[in-house]
Amino acid sequence: MKKNILVVTFSPGGGCLELADAATVILDRAGYEVECLDITYADDREAACGLEIHVDLMILIAPVYLRHLPPPVEYFISRSQLFVEKAALVLGYGSCGVGCAPEEARKLFDLAEVPLCRIMTCPLPHTFADCVEEKQVLPDSLGDVGRFILSVVADDDREEKPIEKRSFDIIGKLPYNITKRLAFGFPKTVSADCTFCGTCAKVCPTEAITLDKFKIDSERCIGCSACVRACPKGAKSINRYPWTKAILRRGFAEVKYPEEITVRK
């Protein structure tokens, strides 16, 4: 009997969506029944949380922001009605460390009573790469991700080990809301250039931008820069603090490769 597989992705920058699309094609060609669910935008997340999800395997492909899982991903895992035999996770990150994201994911899946069997990290272009002088060098990860996903589907009896201990990371130890306030200034609008087209509000994954002069709700903003990239007039910008730039430069200094982190149920 064919396995029923659901690929879920959160992807404001588009990198994780590319991985999810590739995973869907690979699994379909391998003969599995597979669907892709994009939870990037709030309406889609709410609709997904209202469904009963019955699948043999769920593969979640999501980015790491500031060493943490993005709050919308945490929301989906904790609020969804998941009737899933097991889950696997692909973490896309900007070559600057995955921090606490693997352990956060394990705890959330434990609470959802879904066995998280395997985790893979996959370097992707960093959201703030434009503010760093060093060029970010990334490996071609699609092949590695494809092999990982096929091995997850085929390997039901894989021996599980405790989650690896990562090196001490003071940023990853801070709560996400505190970290984001320390790491960057929230997007700002140059009113003289803004045409009030509403593009920024449409692409915001957390509905942090209101139509009242397109103000930013700092509590909802996750710093993904989707609004900055999408603005057709270049009226949006986001500040990065000097120490944030220093951390990014250090992270870009060496090439990171995909790696697997094993976790216990």
Q: Is 56 found in the same domain as 139?
A: yes
Beta bridge partners of 87: 58, 116
Indicate whether 208 belongs to any domain.
yes
Position 249 in a domain: no
- Specify if 173 maps to a domain: no
Residues 163 and 262 sit within 8 Å (Cβ to Cβ): yes
Based on the fold, state whether residues 47 and 125 are members of the same structural domain: yes
State the average pLDDT over residues 30-50. 95
Q: Both 88 and 207 in a single domain?
A: no
In a domain, 245, yes or no: no
Whether residues 22 and 147 share a domain: the answer is yes
Q: What are phi and psi of 227, to 5 degrees?
A: -65, -35
* Whether residues 102 and 229 fall in one domain: no
On whether both 150 and 202 belong to a single domain, the answer is no
Q: Per the structure, how many domains does the chain have?
A: 2
**What's the rounded mean pLDDT across residues 33-54?**
96
pLDDT one-digit tens code per residue, 119-134: 999 999 888 887 777 7
For the whole model, what pTM was predicted?
A: 0.90
- Over 50: is that where the pLDDT of 26 sits? yes
Average pLDDT of the chain to the nearest whole number: 86
Q: Say if residue 118 is in the same domain as residue 205.
A: no
Residues 154 and 192 in one domain: no
Name the amino acid, one letter, at 33: E
Query: Rounded to the nearest 5 degrees, what angle is found at the Cα of 70, between the Cα atoms of 19 and 156?
Result: 50
Instruction: Mark whether 227 and 126 lie in a shared domain.
Output: no
- Structure confidence by residue, pLDDT tens digits, 64-90: 988 899 999 999 999 999 999 999 999
In a shared domain, residues 78 and 132: yes
* pLDDT tens-digit map of 152-176: 998 755 555 445 545 446 666 677 7
What does 90-137 look like in DSSP terms, one character per residue?
Answer: EEEE-SS--TTHHHHHHHHHHHTT--EEEEEEEE---TTGGG-SSPPP
Torsion angles phi and psi, residue 77, rounded to 5: -65, -40
| CATH number where 192 lies | 3.30.70.20
Pick the range with the lowest mean pLDDT from 18-27, 57-66, 126-135, 196-205: 126-135
The parent domain of residue 119 ranges over 4-167+255-262
Q: Is residue 84, in this structure, part of any structural domain at all?
A: yes
Q: For the CA atoms of the chain, what is the radius of gyration? A: 18
